[in-house]
């Protein structure tokens, strides 16, 4: 009876993990554009590493939100209404970031490019923090009453778990981006990314590890403790690989840390999809928040066709743009005469 709701809970968790893995490094690259790049040519290299893929990565966010709406409408309604304010800020951050990606290269003045750079950096930071806060509150709880409505004012959601989740995703995105930059660039950017990771990677992974440990300690099962241990091993392996200069393994192991850590979080939260801090009787679960069995069956057939297609075209995109970039690949700025 609860097979399909459980299946769609697992699929939504996979969509969020995919989003954090893929969008994680391009959000991190967006944040690094102001604090890591030295000069215009390095900023352009960073932008070119994610230029062909950043908008495709956002498909995972849209699909996760759409799947939640269709499979668990009560979860969607309670979560998005309770977090209306922070999620509007996330939306604005993504909009400014997307516009800046498109218009930065069309700016003729350095001051205008600098403004677009700030839009990319702050938009990426806002989006990463907001998504992290939302996911943390999804797994730790919100003040919901019997109707699934938020109790309290507009900032009733703002607590230590929201800050922890936001910091966890922001710092993971930065670390994941440094691993990606080390894998995708050459020259000074590659060397500096490796040095930064070898020094700061444990600190960057610590908030995500703390969030996972907090959730597992409350509702963990034996298998969630096991994969939490696997996450710790992957994080230690990523740091060791970074110190050894093995960029491919650093990127893979940081991804495995994310996979194991977030799997432990969602696994420990199950069967709750949105706990209530006012009482366990108000919790939203995979059963009382799900759509009808007919809807879930229809969605399963569509997903069986659509998900492999999305994975195939994204894999092909990354294969086509697999080469390293360096400052020598960036041409000097030059005017372009419009046809019309």
Contact assessment for residue 49 and residue 43, using Cβ atoms and an 8 Å cutoff: no
What pLDDT score does 327 carry? 83
Alpha helices in 104-159 (DSSP H): 110-140
Percent of all residues in the chain with a pLDDT value above 70, rounded to a whole number: 97
Q: What is the pLDDT of residues 38-96, one digit of tens each?
A: 888 999 999 999 999 999 999 999 999 999 999 999 999 999 999 999 999 999 999 99
The two structure tokens encoding residue 208: 């995500």
**Sign of the C-alpha dihedral computed for residues 159, 174, 79 and 224 taken in this order:** negative
131 φ, ψ (degrees, to nearest 5): -65, -40
Would the pLDDT of 203 be above 60? yes
Distances (CA, A) of 199 to 147, 170, 192, 270: 48, 17, 11, 36
Backbone angles phi, psi at 82, to 5 degrees: -65, -30
DSSP structure class, residue 159:
S
Query: In the structure encoding, which two tokens stand for residue 77, read together?
Result: 């309604």
pLDDT greater than 90 at residue 105? no
User: Roughly how many angstroms between the first and final C-alpha of the chain, as a whole number?
Assistant: 63
Count of all residues that appear for the chain in the document: 340
Closest CA to 180 of 325, 43, 61: 325
Question: 269-316, pLDDT tens digit by residue?
Answer: 999 999 999 999 999 999 999 999 999 999 999 999 988 998 998 999
Residue 313: asked if its preceding bond is cis (omega within 30°), the reply is no
Q: What count of other Cβ atoms lies within 10 Å of the Cβ of residue 65? A: 18
* Distance set, CA 154 to CA 83, 140, 158, 170, 273 (Å): 8, 18, 9, 23, 22
Digit-coded pLDDT (tens) for 113-142: 999 999 999 999 999 999 999 999 999 999
Nearest alpha-carbon partner for 41 in 338, 334, 335, 333: 333
How sure is the predictor about 1, in pLDDT bands with cuts at 50, 70 and 90?
very low
pTM (2 d.p.):
0.94
pLDDT band at 106 (very low <50, low <70, confident <90, very high): confident
- Report how far residue 201's alpha carbon sits from residue 205's, in angstroms, rounded to the nearest whole number: 6
Write out the E strands in 246-327.
272-274, 284-285
What tokens does 225 get?
A: 């403790």
Q: Are 91 and 117 in contact (CB under 8 A)?
A: no
Question: CB of 165 within 8 A of CB of 137?
Answer: yes
Q: Measuring CA to CA, how many Å separate 131 from each of 168, 204, 312?
A: 10, 17, 26
Q: Judge whether 249 and 241 are in contact, CB under 8 Å.
A: yes
Q: What is the chain's mean pLDDT, rounded?
A: 93
Average pLDDT score over residue span 236-264: 96
The residue whose two tokens read 């195939």 is: 312
Q: Which residues are 285's β-sheet partners?
A: 272
Tokens of 313: 């075209």
């Amino acid at each position: 009876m609860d097979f399909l709701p459980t299946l769609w809970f697992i699929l939504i968790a996979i969509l969020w993990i995919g989003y954090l893995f893929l969008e994680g490094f391009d959000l991190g690259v967006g944040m690094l554009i102001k604090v890591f790049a030295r000069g215009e040519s390095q900023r352009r290299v960073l932008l070119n590493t994610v230029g062909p893929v950043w908008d495709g990565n956002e498909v995972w966010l849209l699909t996760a939100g759409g799947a939640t709406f269709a499979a668990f409408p009560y979860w969607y309604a309670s979560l998005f209404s309770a977090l209306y304010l922070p999620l509007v800020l996330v939306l604005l951050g993504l909009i400014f970031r997307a516009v800046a990606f498109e218009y930065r290269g069309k700016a003729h003045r350095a001051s205008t490019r600098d403004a677009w750079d700030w839009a990319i950096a702050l938009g990426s930071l806002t989006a990463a923090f907001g998504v992290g806060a939302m996911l943390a509150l999804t797994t730790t709880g919100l003040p919901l009453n019997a109707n699934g409505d938020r109790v309290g004012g507009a900032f009733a959601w703002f607590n230590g778990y929201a800050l922890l989740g936001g910091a966890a995703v922001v710092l993971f995105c930065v670390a994941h981006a440094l691993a990606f930059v080390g894998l995708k660039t050459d020259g000074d950017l590659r060397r500096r990314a490796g040095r930064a990771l070898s020094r700061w990677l444990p600190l960057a992974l610590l908030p995500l590890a703390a969030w996972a440990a907090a959730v597992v300690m409350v509702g963990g099962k034996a298998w969630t403790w096991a994969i939490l241990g696997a996450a710790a091993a992957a994080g230690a392996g990523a740091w060791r690989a970074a110190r050894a200069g093995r960029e491919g393994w650093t990127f893979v192991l940081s991804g495995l840390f994310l996979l194991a850590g977030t799997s432990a979080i969602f696994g420990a939260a199950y069967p709750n999809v949105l706990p209530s801090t006012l009482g366990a009787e108000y919790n939203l679960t995979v059963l009382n928040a799900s759509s009808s069995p007919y809807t879930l069956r229809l969605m399963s057939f569509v997903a069986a066709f659509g998900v492999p297609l999305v994975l195939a075209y994204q894999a092909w995109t990354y294969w086509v743009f697999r080469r390293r970039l360096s400052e020598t690949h960036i041409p000097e700025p030059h005017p372009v005469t419009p046809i019309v």
